Amino acid sequence: MVAESVLELQQLSKRYGRTKAVQDLTLSVPRGSVYGLLGPNGSGKTTTLGIALGVLHATAGTVRWFGQAPSATARRRIGALLETPNFFPYLSARQNLQIAADIKGADEAAIQAALQTVELANRQHEPVRGFSLGMKQRLALASALLGQPEVLVLDEPTNGLDPTGIADVRALIQRLAAQGKTIILASHLLDEVQKVCTHVGVMHQGQLRAAGAVSAILAATDRVHLRLGAEAAPGVLAQALAALPFVHDVQTLANGACSLALASGHSAADVNRALFAQGLALAHLSTEQRSLEAEFLQIIQKS
Ligand SMILES: Nc1ncnc2c1ncn2[C@@H]1O[C@H](COP(=O)(O)OP(=O)(O)OP(=O)(O)O)[C@@H](O)[C@H]1O
């Protein structure tokens, strides 16, 4: 079953004079996913989110939210945090949220629920000037949550935070995702995307270089290492592997060992079975799980 998309971007492009900030970008965010737009600084993530939210105009392309053209009704279903808002430092967390709630038409219950979600309910009467950056970021998230949006769009949500602040925001994102919200976040931190996202779109120089489920992108990069017993003739293993249809990118290593990549849906056990059926017994078999970082670097290098 194909998951329903919350957001679809079709052939989006944005130019600033000669700068092509976004080029021909097409992506789809499945409902219930935590979608990480990953890319180095200047790769076009903020521009993409800005266009999706209607605060920037695309030079070309279309945006669809919930299967429809953008509208005020659709916008009310989306909470966004593109930059940390300026809170009034002498007002309490609650008073600051009250101002945002008045603008959004959210009620008392919504303020209380948002404060609880971001775990600031017990500090709500303190002035914001005494808050850490992490607490301010959580308050900003509370503000984005007023109106109970189905989707949250966050630009670099952990930027500038210390490790505790990062862990708090990460846990919060995971809690919101567990409640069924779709979360779209931009980040240049691989680790962040790998830890919290179910899906990833890798951007580089304004273009989407790879996209899909994090698990699929990682599985596609697993490498299997294997070696036959010392009695095997040199080259036999590489030859046998090259003939297997679900194996690609076979590399011969020192002492006759080989490494390979698997087609999706196949495992190291399939390789073992196929070789054994040909009378080849393995002395060593292991899988190297590559990190998103390794994959990310490879995607960027390829482009
Ligand atoms: N208002 C603007 N005027 C001119 N160029 C811009 C403007 N906004 C962005 N750019 C350029 O567009 C490109 C993409 O920028 P964007 O901010 O979308 O990238 P990003 O991936 O979000 O990076 P960062 O993480 O640094 O914010 C960059 O080359 C940037 O310099």
Answer whether 260's CB lies under 8 Å from 223's CB: yes
Q: What integer pLDDT is reported at residue 271 of this predicted model?
A: 95
Largest CA distance in the chain: 78
pLDDT, mean of residues 156-163? 89
3-state SS, residue 4: coil
pLDDT band with cut points at 50, 70 and 90 for residue 32: very high
Q: Is 165 in the pocket of ligand 1 (CB under 6 A)?
A: no
- Domain that residue 95 falls in: 5-216
134 and 11 within one domain: yes
Atom of ligand 1 nearest to the CA of 188: 25
Q: How far is the CA of 43 from the centre of ligand 1 (A)?
A: 7
Distance CA 3, CA 5 (A): 6
Q: Is 188 in the pocket of ligand 1 (CB under 6 A)?
A: yes
pLDDT band with cut points at 50, 70 and 90 for residue 220: low
127 and 157 within one domain: yes
Separation of CA 151 from chain center? 14
Q: Is 16 in the pocket of ligand 1 (CB under 6 A)?
A: yes
Q: How far is the CA of 16 from the centre of ligand 1 (A)?
A: 9
Label residue 243 left, alpha or beta by phi (over 0 means left) and psi (-120 to 50 means alpha).
alpha
Distance CA 198, CA 140 (A): 23
157 and 15 within one domain: yes
Q: How many domains does the chain have?
A: 2
State the sign of the Cα–Cα–Cα–Cα dihedral 178, 183, 187, 190.
Answer: positive
Distance CA 127, CA 87 (A): 10
Q: What integer pLDDT is reported at residue 195 of this predicted model?
A: 87
CATH code at 151? 3.40.50.300
260 and 243 within one domain: yes
Q: How far is the CA of 301 from the centre of ligand 1 (A)?
A: 21
- ipTM of the prediction greater than 0.85, yes or no: yes
Take residue 26 and report the two structure tokens written for it.
Answer: 């097409």
281 and 139 within one domain: no
133 and 205 within one domain: yes
Atom 1 of ligand 1: nearest residue by CA position: 16
Q: Is 21 in the pocket of ligand 1 (CB under 6 A)?
A: yes
Cβ-based neighbours of 279, under 8 Å, separated by 6 or more: none
HSE-CB of 146 using CA atoms within 13 angstroms? 24
CATH code at 257? 3.30.70.100
Distance CA 261, CA 232 (A): 22
Q: How far is the CA of 226 from the centre of ligand 1 (A)?
A: 45
38 and 156 within one domain: yes
Answer whether 151's CB lies under 8 Å from 77's CB: yes
